[in-house]
Structure 1
């Protein structure tokens, strides 16, 4: 009887989930229900999936509204009707059009107009599929209305939006957030009626007892509606079924492509390669995944045609078929990759392929996919109201000042000491927390389907311009929709651009190597020494402080060691305590025999009986706990979070413990193994995935080893990496580069290198307008370099403010004229009137102005660079007000081991974290006075007393400690050091007088010109 039910996917309007709606229905003996979220179908699939568990017949529809103004409710008779409704809604969402007051003609859907709307619009005739909805509140008006005569057209429309008064209060807050206004200013028209609740079905029938025909009409309408999606274990994939149009042709094609790939990948294929290939192909065909592989092959083949770099990752990298199709560059035979992680008979979903493209190439490849295939959409994901976000939003709604909102957001308050309004913010924040806030886009998921995408939901059209589903990957997989992951990363752009830079800066060496010759790279002692000593600044995935620390502790100097390290660094392995155990066993082989369980060691001999990769979960669940491979995969996927509450996961968990008990394992051991699985399974990489990362790491390490300056320029030109750009500039200098500030004759928007000279790009000048730099480059390309400031000002249309930025950063240093004198010239040359941008017919005549001799200090230049670039090109230690009292550096740490040291460091990066009991601590990476990196840690007692206060130099007093050979400083106390006062503002009064005098001269000069 309920034709108009809302969940919290009626964004910033509804107040509870689709599961809670079903629970509410069951509690009130409601056996049929129509889910009609407002302009949204996000909950539809999961509503249908869950409904049988609550003995409810699900029906799907949409509440079409302009803002909060309800136009009509569409109710799907069947799946075709749901497609119609989704097509209609999507068209309006894509074009941002309002809905007309009269619904279009639907072939397979009903339309219910609200009672009040019909009264206002005076609609007299209704089609067969159109009805008038009457709520309990409307019953008071019905007897006196002309609509009472339309007996065949009246149905029950009791909206459901709230469970309680608390829900209604939350709803009002959501409406205020949506309108960005104070709660006290929220208009009643923006709210739903407080009576929009679900009642026991008997009570609802009793309310309409005087109008049995209304109940009968409603009953008839609902009986005529039915929706079905297959969520069974044996469901068919809903992806594009065939690539060629025929399953038989698909199978022939994949076999042919594999045969063509064999000689490319293997010089002399051995029997084990053929056996593995035959086994995989048979299973891929049996599971119906052939088209999935061929679509991925199509995508990477197109990328190669366009000259785009890519990396194939994911569990699909465990497959020899993927290797032969060149979807991935990881050899599963060479690495002994576990085939069953990739695919097994029990697995319903296809293997994962994550295909990384350069962030520059990814949009073009996404467009290709949308052009190449018929039914394509980006996969949606929901951004929910999080702790701090809720506090900020509600703080504004309740009218709290920013300072109080900031205080509450930090979470360090005593509730008993808060005022009433602040307590309300906390109270209602807990109610709203976790609700969906707005639809976003999955990091890389793309759906390519057999049926139209609107068969499953409506789509939005976000700023990227591609249709996006209104559901996420979890429910997509439930219904048989498996994503293709097309991701963007800067690492590939760095490799590609490095090759371009090498080609022009060192042309004689650019053809002497193949960047894809990984087998050569992994045996190169120079590259492996960089890994072992953690000299990896700028290199993909291995440059962070945590990774640098791990590489040193493990003394990694092989490709396989880096593959393991790439997964060990993931959060779960560290959280389970197994990172430390792995290091201990790696450094002390005797410990492995002593600590590892024989079965675990037998399953994972290469990693000392420690679970490191995702497939280790499957192996342990299958071999150690006796689960079949399908159950083991449920376990692996369940650890990712959203699946953990699923019933099937709970059953597998119980079976894990039961099987282990029957095998006679000690309860302590069972709990320990489960704890390891639970802590890291959702975060660890598949081994093939780690291997793919390691391949890219070795490519970047090769470039750093043999073309360090060119590689650093490429790193800078692609947004840096883990650290700020400043530190890649510093690293380039440490490797022998001469760094120059931007120059109008030699710089471009991006950084450029000539030999060992790196000229910073105009892009670093944050206040310089893009159109100005474009004019400079366009004119320089057309007419050659600039001979003087006057020549530049004659040729480039520029304001005095923009010209002064270039002069102050010393972009005219080729003139040999002091920049203060150049500033005077620019101000005298450019009047304050708007300059006409057109070519000059005759060479301009310049007036010779008498300008006093001026000079610039290095200190003044450093502060100007800090202002305009964000960092200075000299050592920051030269800016200290008080010179360092010692010159201790990284080289001294060894002799101070287990002793206290006094040392200065320039802050590179700081990681703020918390202990298991919530106490704050810091890990900070610093640069010493010689430019070398060292690490510090501030444990909670020290972190409570000392804070990092932004960029700058700090003086540390602490103890040098060693963990597995990695040296760091446990800080006891620290103090930020002051820079000297900015010399440019040492005498502001004099500066003001000078500029006032300059303005008078400018005005006089302009008059003289006229």
Structure 2
């Protein structure tokens, strides 16, 4: 049962006090207390401790301190990975309930719990010694028989067993549910003292946690609120001079105003801790991007938390802070993927492990995954399960009795919690020890993690610091380093304002040639850039937001593009729209725009605006809070005399934003990083693309980034034991693929081969490689087949012959240089030649793409289509045939729920073109994965961007794989 359901059912049965004791966790205790307080039930917190499915004891907190003791006990064992002991330690503020079978002596705070079906064990026993220690134990796990059956399915999924294999000890008892009123008393009627003991124990428990949401974050940075205020002001003024010089009166006025509001709302410590994070990471040479609503703040800009100038962009301060705001603004601090954990580690050391923890997250059972899980525990074959998740078999499935059964369970299980995990980057820094509110887990990441998610954290009173990682920063950081090493040029990548005025960079942006560039490389973003003729920073800021689903699905993206090309034709819905949204042609693009309209058009206040802000930024699990404002919006707008039809249309646009829009500062932060990537791609494309490959790519597969490397003039070589490193390297225009990308090659050799070469020189032969690395037959064959030993001058077939001869008997590795190199005997072999086609197939298998041949040369047909991508715009409205290499596809659902696709392809010249696949063609002509396709369709255009509406579509066959072994 969910906690609200649990409490509602208790109220319906007249229950007045209840203990929540989840198994080996305290995830639900705080929510339980809130729900009970609202419904008039006395809540008590606790934890049920189990080991190997066996109940050891139940801890019941007497008060807040008791909850901390229980949480700390469980946390200690979780963090140190120690099994729970047979007996509980001494708790000063918590009771311990052992099962009736427990035989050791009981301490003062310890009791024996007896279930009603165990009462027969008391018959004929002398109870004098334990009479005061017996309490009634009635677990409530499920609501009814249907809930019990669902419980069995959930246990089967958890244990990865079919239903028939589940044993009684694997699940709760069928009686573990609420008893009808009066039944408890009836069952214990011969032992009424047990119920008295139970009531007395519960009466002694008072969960003395503060009611309502209070600020539980670390309250000061320096130890004093006054000192915090003074330090923040000092840092802001110093940063003001750095950012704006000594005499910018506009900036000074804004800084003073913001400092006053920050102090009044008691957010000085939040700003200073964020500044401290930046100060530490900068001292380590880490590059960061600061974004989120906090980037609207000039104080944040002066503290170098963000690089977005709020004056230049005319950012809306009230989006960031207002008098009604109860929680601090968001600062999302992005680092490179390989630097983020060190920053988190710093926080744990700086702010103490008892007051610092990573934020958890709760995954739920979703969509097809539920069907698969249910099918597995029912013991169904994989083919049948696959058919149930195939959208093309929806109609047949509805008539299938097995599917109907699965669907019934699906309805019960949908959106139930599945497992706890780690939030993408949230860190909590608390005033009190965090174990007052949660036990801690130790996930694989190795840092203490709370047992609830961001939604629960906020309701309790915690606000997170977001320390995130993204590949885009890794691309930039490594590219700068590679340019310095390969071209002996130092780049100041923070000169973003210079990049924004660079004509070549802006021309690159306008062309849509943005592959590898953070946030602007996806097909949809490249299309939008071209439709907007985007060639400047401010337009890119807008583009970063209008690509979001809220703007796009409301139809306002099209409106924005249309008016961007013809600003004089703008028709404003209302004078207020013109007054507030002139910059975006009357279109709501950013969260700030929505808030402005709600305040100035509908007359709503700042409190309502804050709720809107939270709804739009996904702070709630659903749109419930957001939609509550509908009535108020209409009422207030009516008071101002706004026309009904205009109000309805404005609200339609407002509501479409829920959960799907950016603040302007957030978009601006993304655009800053995009310009940094663009600068590198424009002037140093080879080094930039190598950096993209070495930082786990981006939106596309490795093969596309290698295609971009070649377009940039790089000579891309297959892996080579004498030239390659573990990752891709570059020397001049020569680029050697790394061993990391070779499928099946073990990590030990990925690192050992280049390390040994650097230590003791180039490998002289296959035999030398084997002696120095100790590589085995299977791994050596992978290297041979991928071409990594071509330096020997021998064909792959000759090398395969040699390696079997050499490794017929075991050869010991030797990292010492031989005094006299004794070569193995050479045998005369017939000429063994590898064909280009054989090599291409090896590369497809071991790299995932061919390098020796193009995908087009692998085709059985010589046909390459009627036109190329660059010629599409000259054939508008015509039916054409094209041959394209698959790049990617995107699946979407239409308003009627039908599936359609958007595709991206390369023509033989390596130029992009895009396709649209409407629902009437998708079932007949589906995608079949990577490869080349023959595409027949109509050329269409939108805002100067041409694409193909597909009519027919088929994957082309490639040449047969020749037998080589």
Fold shared by both chains (TM-score > 0.5) = yes
Residues 75-154 of structure 1: pairs in structure 2 closer than 5 A: 75-114=60-99, 118=100, 120-123=101-104, 125-147=105-127, 150-154=130-134
Alignment partner for residue 610 of structure 1, among 584, 587, 590?
A: 587
The farther-off stretch of 523-532 and 92-101 is 92-101
**Alpha carbons of 1:787 and 1:397: their partners in 2 closer, same or farther (altered >3 Å)?**
closer
Alignment partner for residue 576 of structure 1, among 545, 554, 559?
A: 554
**Alpha carbons of 1:790 and 1:460: their partners in 2 closer, same or farther (altered >3 Å)?**
closer
Alpha-carbon distance in structure 1 between the residues aligned to 2:102 and 2:178: 28
1:703 aligns with 2:657: no
1:845 CA displacement = 3.6
1:429 aligns with 2:410: yes
Q: Is the 8 A contact 2:548 2:660 kept in 1?
A: yes
**Alpha carbons of 1:289 and 1:326: their partners in 2 closer, same or farther (altered >3 Å)?**
same
Query: SS at the partner of 2:22?
Result: coil
1:650 CA displacement = 6.1
Equivalent residue, structure 2, for 1:355: 333
**Alpha carbons of 1:131 and 1:789: their partners in 2 closer, same or farther (altered >3 Å)?**
closer
Measured against aligned partners, the alpha-carbon deviations of 1:81-128 in whole angstroms (never above 9, x if no partner) come to: 1101111111222334333333221111112223xxx3x3334x4333
Q: Is the 8 A contact 1:94 1:461 kept in 2?
A: yes
Alpha-carbon distance in structure 1 between the residues aligned to 2:95 and 2:681: 65
Q: Is the 8 A contact 2:904 2:913 kept in 1?
A: yes
Equivalent residue, structure 1, for 2:779: 802
Q: Is the 8 A contact 1:921 1:940 kept in 2?
A: yes
Equivalent residue, structure 2, for 1:247: 225
Query: SS at the partner of 1:540?
Result: coil
Alignment partner for residue 56 of structure 1, among 26, 41, 54?
A: 41
1:65 aligns with 2:45: no
1:543 aligns with 2:525: no
Alignment partner for residue 699 of structure 2, among 717, 722, 727?
A: 722
1:912 CA displacement = 1.8
The farther-off stretch of 517-526 and 861-870 is 861-870
Q: Is the 8 A contact 2:359 2:422 kept in 1?
A: yes
1:462 aligns with 2:447: no
1:530 aligns with 2:508: yes
**Alpha carbons of 1:182 and 1:796: their partners in 2 closer, same or farther (altered >3 Å)?**
closer
Measured against aligned partners, the alpha-carbon deviations of 1:6-52 in whole angstroms (never above 9, x if no partner) come to: xxxxxxxxxx1111111111111112221111111111111122223
1:601 CA displacement = 2.4
Query: SS at the partner of 1:61?
Result: strand
Alignment partner for residue 391 of structure 1, among 371, 374, 378?
A: 371
Query: SS at the partner of 1:121?
Result: coil
The farther-off stretch of 215-224 and 57-66 is 215-224
Alignment partner for residue 169 of structure 2, among 181, 189, 206?
A: 189
Alpha-carbon distance in structure 2 between the residues aligned to 1:642 and 1:283: 23
Query: SS at the partner of 1:35?
Result: strand
Alpha-carbon distance in structure 2 between the residues aligned to 1:148 and 1:938: 80
1:441 aligns with 2:422: yes
Q: Is the 8 A contact 1:566 1:693 kept in 2?
A: yes
Measured against aligned partners, the alpha-carbon deviations of 1:780-837 in whole angstroms (never above 9, x if no partner) come to: 2122223444544454432333333333333333344433333333333443435454
Alpha-carbon distance in structure 2 between the residues aligned to 1:645 and 1:950: 35
**Alpha carbons of 1:259 and 1:844: their partners in 2 closer, same or farther (altered >3 Å)?**
same
1:881 aligns with 2:863: no
Residues 898-909 of structure 1: pairs in structure 2 closer than 5 A: 898-909=877-888
1:811 aligns with 2:788: yes
Runs of at least 5 residues in structure 2 that lack an aligned partner in the other structure? none
Residues 173-252 of structure 1: pairs in structure 2 closer than 5 A: 173-199=153-179, 201-230=181-210, 232=212, 235-252=213-230
1:744 CA displacement = 1.9
Equivalent residue, structure 1, for 2:140: 160
Runs of at least 5 residues in structure 1 that lack an aligned partner in the other structure? 1-15, 986-990, 992-1010
Alpha-carbon distance in structure 1 between the residues aligned to 2:306 and 2:499: 17
1:231 CA displacement = 5.3
Alpha-carbon distance in structure 2 between the residues aligned to 1:947 and 1:647: 37
Q: Is the 8 A contact 1:113 1:131 kept in 2?
A: yes
Alpha-carbon distance in structure 2 between the residues aligned to 1:885 and 1:495: 37
Measured against aligned partners, the alpha-carbon deviations of 1:38-77 in whole angstroms (never above 9, x if no partner) come to: 1111111111222232121221111112243222221111
Q: Is the 8 A contact 1:231 1:478 kept in 2?
A: no
Alignment partner for residue 620 of structure 1, among 597, 610, 618?
A: 597
Alpha-carbon distance in structure 2 between the residues aligned to 1:566 and 1:147: 74
Alpha-carbon distance in structure 2 between the residues aligned to 1:930 and 1:716: 22
The farther-off stretch of 148-157 and 887-896 is 148-157
**Alpha carbons of 1:244 and 1:432: their partners in 2 closer, same or farther (altered >3 Å)?**
same
1:396 CA displacement = 1.4
Residues 626-705 of structure 1: pairs in structure 2 closer than 5 A: 626-639=603-616, 643=620, 652-705=629-682
Equivalent residue, structure 2, for 1:450: 431
Alignment partner for residue 478 of structure 1, among 442, 448, 459?
A: 459
Q: Number of residue pairs matched? A: 960
1:216 CA displacement = 2.8
Alignment partner for residue 30 of structure 1, among 1, 8, 15?
A: 15
Equivalent residue, structure 2, for 1:848: 826
1:727 CA displacement = 0.3
Equivalent residue, structure 2, for 1:335: 313
Alpha-carbon distance in structure 2 between the residues aligned to 1:155 and 1:501: 70
Q: Is the 8 A contact 2:715 2:734 kept in 1?
A: yes
Q: Is the 8 A contact 1:229 1:479 kept in 2?
A: no
Q: Is the 8 A contact 1:230 1:479 kept in 2?
A: no
Equivalent residue, structure 1, for 2:262: 284
The farther-off stretch of 183-192 and 457-466 is 183-192
1:172 CA displacement = 1.2
**Alpha carbons of 1:904 and 1:297: their partners in 2 closer, same or farther (altered >3 Å)?**
same
Equivalent residue, structure 2, for 1:996: none
1:298 CA displacement = 0.8
**Alpha carbons of 1:786 and 1:629: their partners in 2 closer, same or farther (altered >3 Å)?**
same
Alpha-carbon distance in structure 1 between the residues aligned to 2:299 and 2:92: 46
The farther-off stretch of 902-911 and 415-424 is 415-424
1:151 CA displacement = 3.2
Q: Is the 8 A contact 2:291 2:306 kept in 1?
A: yes
**Alpha carbons of 1:426 and 1:100: their partners in 2 closer, same or farther (altered >3 Å)?**
same
1:673 CA displacement = 2.5
1:268 CA displacement = 4.3
Compute the RMSD of aligned alpha carbons: 2.1
Equivalent residue, structure 2, for 1:381: 361
Alpha-carbon distance in structure 2 between the residues aligned to 1:885 and 1:724: 23
TM-score normalised to the size of structure 2?
Answer: 0.96
1:271 CA displacement = 1.4
Alignment partner for residue 564 of structure 1, among 529, 538, 542?
A: 542
Q: Is the 8 A contact 1:806 1:812 kept in 2?
A: yes
Alpha-carbon distance in structure 1 between the residues aligned to 2:821 and 2:651: 82
1:639 CA displacement = 4.4
Measured against aligned partners, the alpha-carbon deviations of 1:105-154 in whole angstroms (never above 9, x if no partner) come to: 1111112223xxx3x3334x433322232333334444444447633223
Alpha-carbon distance in structure 2 between the residues aligned to 1:978 and 1:944: 20
Query: SS at the partner of 2:8?
Result: helix
Equivalent residue, structure 2, for 1:1003: none
Alpha-carbon distance in structure 1 between the residues aligned to 2:745 and 2:614: 49
**Alpha carbons of 1:228 and 1:609: their partners in 2 closer, same or farther (altered >3 Å)?**
farther
Residues 580-599 of structure 1: pairs in structure 2 closer than 5 A: 580-592=558-570, 594-599=571-576
Alpha-carbon distance in structure 1 between the residues aligned to 2:957 and 2:823: 49
Equivalent residue, structure 2, for 1:41: 26
The farther-off stretch of 433-442 and 599-608 is 599-608
Equivalent residue, structure 1, for 2:848: 870
